[in-house]
Structure 1
Amino acid sequence: MLETSARLLRLLSLLQTRPEWSGPELAARLGISVRTVRRDVEKLRSLDYPVEVDLGPTGGYRLGAGAALPPLLLDDEEAVAVAVSLQTAGGAGIAGLSETAVGALVKLERILPERLRRRVSAIGVSTVAPLRALPSVEPATLVAVGGACRDRRVLELDYTAHDGAGSRRRVEPHHLVAWGRRWYLLAYDLGRDDWRTLRLDRIVPRVAPDGLATGPRFTPRDVPGGDPAEYVASKVRDVRPVRCRARVHAGVDEVRARIWTDQVGLDDLGDGTCRVRLAGDDVQGVAITLAALGLEFEVEEPAELGVALRGMGERCARAADSSARGVARRPS
C-alpha cells in the first residue's frame, strides 16, 4: 500500500485524468478502501484542492475549478508533449496565444529535469506564417467548448453563419476537430435535431463566470460514420465557389500525403490512380495545388483549369529559358 503522502499525489493525478471517478474506482486503483478514499479527499480539500464530491451511493469525485491554479502532475511523456505543443502554439490560430505560450514554456522548462529538457530541445519546431490571414479563435472559446466536450454538457451558444446571419443554438458538443488551418466543433443541434459542423471562430459560448458550460449532462450519440474527423472533413470540403476534378497517377495515400489543402476529396479508381476533387477560390489556385503535387495528372473538368495550367506552364518555361540565358552570359 502507498504511504499517505505518495497516495495523495497519486489520487490527485488520477483526478486530473478524468472528469469524474466513483469511490470504488479510486479505491481499486489505489489499493485502499472507499472510506480511506473519502479521508484522502478531505485532506486534499483541506489543502485547497477543489475536489467536488457527489454524495450519491457511489460517491463520485471530480476536480473542479478553484480560486487559484493548483499544481499539475505530469508524467514524462505528458511533460514533453506539453512543451512541444507550446513551441508550436504561435501558429495555432488562437488569438493572443503566441506570447502567452512562450511564457508558459519558459516556466515549464525551468522545472523540467535535464533528461526531459534534452528530449524537448531535440525536437526542433519551426512555425511558418500562413499564406493568408485566417480568423483566430479566442482562447476562452476554446476552453469553454473543449470543456463542454470533455464533460458532456449541453452548450448554449451564439453562432454567426457564413452570410453573417446570427442564431442562438443549444447543442450537444461531441468533438473539437482541427481541419486544415481552422477549428471546428462537431455537435448535435437540439433545435434542428441534426448534426452540425460549426466553425469555432464564429462561436460565442454562453457560459458561467468561470468560463465553463452549465447545461445538463448528456449521453454521447454515435457520430455518423464513426469517425469525427472524417465527418467534419466531408462537410467542410467543397465549400468554395470553384470545383475542379483531375485524375492523378498515384494512389490515394500518396496524394493525401502530398496535398496541403482541406478542400479536397479523393476517390480510389482501383488502377493505381485516383480522382482528386478540389474546391478553390479560383482555377489559378487549384492549378498551383495540382502542379505542386509533383505527379502526372489529367484534367477532367473544368476546361478553364486546363487553360490556367497551360498559362502557368508557359510562364515557367519562359522563366527557365531566361535563367538558362543568364547562366550562359555569366563569366566563368
Structure 2
Amino acid sequence: MLETSARLLKLLSLLQSPRDWSGADLAGELGVGVRTVRRDVDKLRNLGYPVDAVPGVAGYRLGAGASLPPLLLDDEEAVAVAIGLRAAATGSVAGIEESSVRALTKLEQVLPSRLRHRVRLLQSVAVTPNDGAVVDPAVLMAVAAACRDHERLRFDYRSHDGTATVRTTEPHRLVHTGRRWYLVAWDVERADWRTFRLDRMEPRIPTGPRFQPREVPELDRTTRGVAGGGYRYQATFLLQAPAEQITDRIPNTVGVVEMVDPGSCLLSAGSNSLDELLLYVGLLGVDFVVQSPPELIAHLQTLTTRLAAATPA
C-alpha cells in the first residue's frame, strides 16, 4: 500500500511538469508497466485530478479541473510561492492582501523547517517599498493563525501616545486598508469589540485556549473602529451635503458617513494630526461644522484667525 501511494505521488509530480507524457515514458520513470500506469492514472482521476488523454501519442497531461486539487511543490517552488505570497500580503497587489495571508498561513504551517528558514532569510534581506506602516510578517502570520484556529491571543500593545498595555482578545478577522493592517477582536477585559493596529502589536506565544466564535459585528462597527481607532484624535463633522455624495468620495476605512437628512450628513474620522483632519474635510468642497473634539474646534479658530490675517488689506 505504501509503495502504491508513493508511486501515485511521484506520478502526480511528473504530470505537473509542463509537457505531455507517453504511457511508456511514465512507465520508465516509475519502474512499472504501461498497464499499471493506466490504473494509477484512473486512481488520480478518482481523487479529483484532471488527467487528460493526449491524442496521437497515447499519453497524458494534467489539465484544468472544476475544483483545485492539492498541488505538489518541490523545495524551490515552495520557497518561491511563499516569498510571492508574503510580498502580496504587504499590499503590493490591491485586493488580494487578505487571501494572500490565508494562503501563506496554510503553506507555512506545512513547510519543513529548512524551507521556513530560507523563506525568512530571503525576506530579511529583501526590501519591499511600502508607504504604510510596516508589519513584521511573523506577527501577521501569528495573528492570522489565531483567527483561523479560534484561539485567544494575548499581546503587548502600544497606543498612539506610546502607552503600553497587555490585551487579551478573541481574534475575529484581519482587515487591510491599503496602508495598514488591523485586527478586529473581542477584548476580553473590556467586554466589547475593538480594532488594533498590527504594527503596534507584539503577540505573546503560545496562544491561549480555543474559544467559541461570537456573532460577527456589523460592518459599520468594524469600519468605524478602523477609520477612527488607533489615532490620537477622533473627529466628527456635520457636512452640508447628501450622504451618498460624501460616501462616494470617502472609503469606509478612512471615514464613516451617516445621513442626518437628505441634504446633510455626519462624517467620523481619525488622525494623529489636527491639520490633516481639517485639510481632508476642507478639500471636500462643501460647507461643514466641526462638532468634536474640542481641540479641533480651538485649532480651527486659531487657524481661521491666522488665515484672515494673511489676506491683503
TM-score by length of 2: 0.51
Separation in structure 1 between the aligned mates of residue 268 and residue 192 of structure 2, nearest angstrom: 26
Aligned to 1:274: 265
Separation in structure 2 between the aligned mates of residue 275 and residue 230 of structure 1, nearest angstrom: 15
Aligned to 2:287: 297
Q: SS of the counterpart of 1:221?
A: coil
What amino acid is aligned across from residue 305 of structure 1 in structure 2? L
What amino acid is aligned across from residue 138 of structure 2 in structure 1? A
Cα distance, 1:199–1:303 mapped onto 2, change above 3 Å: closer
Identify which of 193, 200, 211 aligns with 1:218.
Answer: 211
Aligned to 2:9: none
**What are the equivalent positions in structure 2 for 1:1-332 lying under 5 Å apart?**
3-8=42-47, 10=49, 69=78, 86-87=92-93, 130=131, 135-162=133-160, 163-167=162-166, 169-179=167-177, 181-207=179-205, 215-224=208-217, 226-227=218-219, 230-231=221-222, 233-234=224-225, 237=228, 240=231, 245-259=236-250, 264-293=255-284, 295-301=285-291, 302=297, 304-305=299-300, 308=303
Task: Indicate conservation of the 8 Å contact 1:299/1:306, yes or no.
Answer: no
Q: SS of the counterpart of 1:286?
A: helix
Separation in structure 1 between the aligned mates of residue 203 and residue 89 of structure 2, nearest angstrom: 28
1:297 Cα deviation after fit: 0.8
Cα distance, 1:147–1:6 mapped onto 2, change above 3 Å: farther
Aligned to 1:115: none
What amino acid is aligned across from residue 253 of structure 1 in structure 2? E
Q: Percent sequence identity over matched residues?
A: 28
Per-residue CA deviations over 1:78-121 (Å, capped at 9, x if unaligned) read x9xx69964459x99x9x9798598xxxxxxxxxxxxxxxxxxx
Cα distance, 1:200–1:278 mapped onto 2, change above 3 Å: closer
1:177 Cα deviation after fit: 1.8
Task: Indicate conservation of the 8 Å contact 1:187/1:197, yes or no.
Answer: yes
Q: SS of the counterpart of 1:222?
A: coil
Cα distance, 1:290–1:192 mapped onto 2, change above 3 Å: closer
What amino acid is aligned across from residue 251 of structure 1 in structure 2? P
Runs of at least 5 residues in structure 1 that lack an aligned partner in the other structure: 12-28, 31-39, 50-65, 73-78, 103-126, 319-332
Cα distance, 1:287–1:309 mapped onto 2, change above 3 Å: farther
Q: SS of the counterpart of 2:174?
A: strand
How many residues align? The count is 222
Task: Indicate conservation of the 8 Å contact 2:223/2:256, yes or no.
Answer: no
What amino acid is aligned across from residue 223 of structure 1 in structure 2? V
Task: Indicate conservation of the 8 Å contact 2:228/2:268, yes or no.
Answer: no
1:298 Cα deviation after fit: 3.3
Runs of at least 5 residues in structure 2 that lack an aligned partner in the other structure: 1-40, 51-65, 102-121, 292-296
